[in-house]
């Protein structure tokens, strides 16, 4: 994985765009995260560097830079940029986390009533956002009890994670959305099942996952 190199490159690009040095202390504060976590991600000594960070840490970093105008994905952070340049918006955006209360639902659609209210920290407060509590592990990344934050009106883009409902199936599934050969496809996170073409009569996209609070 190239997280340490990618993150350093993003910090440099942000500093150059904004005309001011952006430090890891500032990033840690914006993410509401201990500075030590970021330090271990980019440590110059590989033996002291964290190479298997928590997925929610990675999502927070990606969400911060996306909100700040950087067109990046979780794969970019993990594997490095495919292109020599990254699309960056000209405007300078302030990123911060706001505590919001969201309706919390089960992954089991037979339980139509909400489980309660989840207090979540988000970088923005979009409309039409709900939360789902996983009642089982989603391999290979998410333990039982992880909370998925879903924007029900956001349109999926390439490599978006989406929550879907299958016809005649009582469980909400998490799938990766992508485009290929002019068709919309869904594939499992761990690759355990073959990709399938998105068809409205079989699949209903509930929304795009904008944040995951992974269970420790």
Looking at the chain, the domain(s) classified CATH 1.10.260 span 3-79
Looking at the chain, the domain(s) classified CATH 2.10.109.10 span 98-213
In DSSP terms, 151 is beta-bridged to 129, 208
SS3 label, residue 88: strand
Fold of domain 3-79? 434 Repressor (Amino-terminal Domain) (1.10.260)
CA 213/CA 216 separation, integer angstroms: 9
Q: What is the pLDDT of residue 123?
A: 64
**What share of residues in the chain are helix, strand, coil (percent, to 5)?**
25, 30, 45
Low-confidence winner among 55-69, 90-104, 154-168 (lowest mean pLDDT) = 90-104
pTM score, whole prediction: 0.57
Tell me which residue has tokens 């040095």: 21
> Is pLDDT above 90 for 59?
no
> Is pLDDT above 60 for 88?
no
98-213 maps to CATH 2.10.109.10: yes
Q: What confidence category does residue 168 fall into, taking pLDDT thresholds of 50, 70 and 90?
A: confident
Q: What is the mean pLDDT of the chain?
A: 81
């Amino acid at each position: 994985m190239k997280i340490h190199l990618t993150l350093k490159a993003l910090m440099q690009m942000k500093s150059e765009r904004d005309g001011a040095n952006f430090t890891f202390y500032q990033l840690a504060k914006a993410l509401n995260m201990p500075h030590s976590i970021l330090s271990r991600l980019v440590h110059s000594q590989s033996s002291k560097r964290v190479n298997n960070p928590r997925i929610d840490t990675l999502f927070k970093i990606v969400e911060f830079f996306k909100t700040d105008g950087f067109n990046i994905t979780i794969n970019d952070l993990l594997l490095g940029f495919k292109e020599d340049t990254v699309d960056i918006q000209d405007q300078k955006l302030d990123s911060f986390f706001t505590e919001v209360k969201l309706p919390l639902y089960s992954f089991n659609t037979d339980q139509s009533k909400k489980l309660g209210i989840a207090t979540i920290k988000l970088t923005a407060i979009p409309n039409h956002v709900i939360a789902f509590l996983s009642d089982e592990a989603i391999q290979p990344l998410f333990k039982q009890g992880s909370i998925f934050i879903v924007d029900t009106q956001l349109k999926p883009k390439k490599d978006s994670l989406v929550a879907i409902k299958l016809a005649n199936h009582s469980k909400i599934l998490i799938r990766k959305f992508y485009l290929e050969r002019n068709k919309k496809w869904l594939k499992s996170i761990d690759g355990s099942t073959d990709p399938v073409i998105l068809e409205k009569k079989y699949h209903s996209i509930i929304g795009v996952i904008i944040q995951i609070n992974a269970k420790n």
